[in-house]
Amino acid sequence: MKITVAKSAGFCFGVKRAIDIALESAKQQKAQVYMLGDIVHNENVVSQIEKSGIKKTAYLPDSGSLLIRAHGSAKEIENKAKERGLNV
């Protein structure tokens, strides 16, 4: 059996952008950066993001910056985060 991998194989644009934003946020963080759950569906990438200093949380933190999942979340969550003064 021959397996051919397409030249365009890899993450979709949204996931690639989310990973780039997460890693850049880790470099430039002035306050703690959190990701609300796994921002992408890839354990290796989530682990890499955590190793960069970003903390994974299941709840909205009281301060800092918050990364939303690559494929979005409920608008209510984003609104509550902004009400708390989080940088989203």
Q: Is the pLDDT of residue 34 over 90?
A: yes
Mean pLDDT, residues 34-60 taken together: 94
| 43 pLDDT above the threshold of 90 | yes
pLDDT of residue 65: 93
Condensed to tens digits (0 to 9), the pLDDT of residues 48-74 reads: 999 999 999 999 999 999 998 888 889
Query: What is the average pLDDT score of the chain?
Result: 91
Burial of 26 (0-12, 13-18, 19+ CB in 10 A): middle
Parse the chain into domains and list their residue ranges: 31-88
What pLDDT score was predicted for residue 30?
85
Please state, as a whole number, how many other Cβ atoms lie within 10 Å of the Cβ of residue 52: 15
22, amino acid identity:
A
Give me the CATH code for the 31-88 domain, please: 3.40.50.11270
pTM: 0.81
Residue in 7, 52, 8, 2 with CA at minimum distance from that of residue 67? 52
Report how far residue 22's alpha carbon sits from residue 37's, in angstroms, rounded to the nearest whole number. 13
